[in-house]
Structure formats: structure tokens, C-alpha cells
């Protein structure tokens, strides 16, 4: 089997990316989640963790030698250069591992989940962009409930990402995740059949 069709799945925070990814997974489609890969590449013994330690010092490690994510977040929160340095270490490692998994997938198509697909230029690595879209009011309510945060904090997080219109202009396909779960399942199945048909033409 040749290289699979790569579907880049993205969407704003609390839009339902995980639910949609799980739906594709249940249909037997390989799902490659860059958030999960991001945790793998900074595991103890991995080159990226050694580079992070060299750049930021031992304060970003916990007592067991694992990455202390909170300490690292605090260091880069308001330091653009530190954030850029971290991304220069982690992003190539994440991209390389993701591409390796795509190449190894024995499937007609794969779903690559990248929250900041458009913002970070990952759309250039995929064949089609699938945007999970939800009204901002829905995102906000889900975020407040999920993370137990204030309306102001939720709005600030939403504002820090690309706006809906920017994402939608890049979309080849859109799932509107603002209705019942049954409707979501139907949208996923329809796209599944579409992607399979694209691989046989």
C-alpha cells in the first residue's frame, strides 16, 4: 500500500477535536495525535528533553527526571524568546515522529490531529484540512465546564487562537460540532466514506 491520504484535523479549543478523532478511530482509521507525540518526545532519555534541560536548566525537571510542565509553562508564559526556543526544540521532533507514523500506517488514510495546524504551518504537510467548528459561545461554555475557569479566562484562551473565519477559509471539510452526538457520528461516517472514495479514484 502506498502513502496514505493525510487528513489534518484541527479546530479551536473545546470544539470537540478529541470526540471526532475518537469517532474516526472507532471506524478503524489510524489517528496520530500530535499532543500525545509532544509528551512522548520529552520523555526521559529523549534528545528533546536533554535539549530542554540544557536550555532551561534543572528547574524544569521534577524529582524523578520527568519534565515539570507547570514549571516550564511558567518560564515561557511571558517570554517570547523562551517560547520560540522551546518550539525550536520540540516542533521538529514532533513533526519527524508524526511523519514516521504516517509513513508506517497500513491504511488508505490517516487522521493527523494538530490543534494549531494552521497557525504553525502544518497544513502544508497534509492532503486535506478538516476543521471541527463550534460557535464561540459553545466553546466558551465547554471550556468553563471542562477546566473550571471563569468566563474571562475562557475568552482569553479562545482569543489567543486563530479565529473561526481564519480556520474555515483553510478548510477542505468542516464538521459542525454544535448538535447531538448522533449528528456528529453521522458527519464522521459521511466523511469516512468520502475519504475512502478519494483513495480509490
Position 29 scores a pLDDT of: 97
* C-alpha cell read off for 137: 459561545
Per-residue pLDDT of the chain in tens (201 residues, 90 and over written 9): 578 999 999 998 888 899 999 999 999 999 999 999 999 999 999 999 999 999 999 999 999 999 999 899 888 887 889 999 999 999 999 999 999 999 999 999 999 999 989 888 999 999 999 999 988 888 899 889 998 999 998 888 888 887 888 889 999 999 988 766 678 899 999 999 999 999 985
Is there a binding annotation on residue 2? no
CA gap 23, 27 in Å, rounded: 7
Is there a binding annotation on residue 16? yes
* C-alpha cell read off for 121: 504551518
Position 4 scores a pLDDT of: 95
- Domains of the chain in start order, with CATH, are 1-30+108-201 (3.40.50.300), 36-104 (no CATH)
Is there a binding annotation on residue 17? yes
Helix (H, G, I), strand (E, B) or coil at 63: coil
Is there a binding annotation on residue 160? no
Is there a binding annotation on residue 153? no
Please name which of 185, 171, 174, 146 lies closest in space to residue 14, comparing C-alpha atoms: 146
Amino acid at each position: 500500500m502506498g502513502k496514505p491520504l493525510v487528513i489534518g484535523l484541527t479546530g479551536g479549543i473545546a470544539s470537540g477535536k478529541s470526540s471526532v478523532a475518537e469517532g474516526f478511530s472507532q471506524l478503524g482509521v489510524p489517528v496520530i495525535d500530535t499532543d500525545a507525540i509532544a509528551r512522548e518526545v520529552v520523555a526521559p532519555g529523549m534528545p528533546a528533553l536533554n535539549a530542554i534541560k540544557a536550555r532551561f536548566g534543572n528547574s524544569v525537571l521534577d524529582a524523578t527526571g520527568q519534565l515539570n510542565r507547570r514549571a516550564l509553562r511558567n518560564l515561557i508564559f511571558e517570554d517570547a524568546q523562551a517560547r520560540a526556543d522551546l518550539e525550536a526544540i520540540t516542533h521538529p521532533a514532533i513533526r519527524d515522529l508524526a511523519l514516521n507514523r504516517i509513513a508506517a500506517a497500513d491504511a488508505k488514510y490517516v487522521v493527523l490531529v494538530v490543534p494549531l495546524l494552521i497557525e504553525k504551518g502544518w497544513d502544508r504537510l497534509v492532503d486535506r484540512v478538516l476543521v471541527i467548528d463550534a460557535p464561540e459561545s459553545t466553546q466558551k461554555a465547554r471550556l468553563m465546564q471542562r477546566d473550571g475557569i471563569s468566563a474571562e479566562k475562557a475568552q482569553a484562551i479562545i482569543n489567543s487562537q486563530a479565529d473561526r473565519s481564519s480556520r474555515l477559509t483553510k478548510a477542505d471539510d468542516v464538521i459542525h460540532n454544535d448538535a447531538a452526538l448522533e449528528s456528529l457520528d453521522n458527519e464522521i461516517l459521511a466523511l469516512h466514506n468520502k475519504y475512502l472514495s478519494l483513495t480509490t479514484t
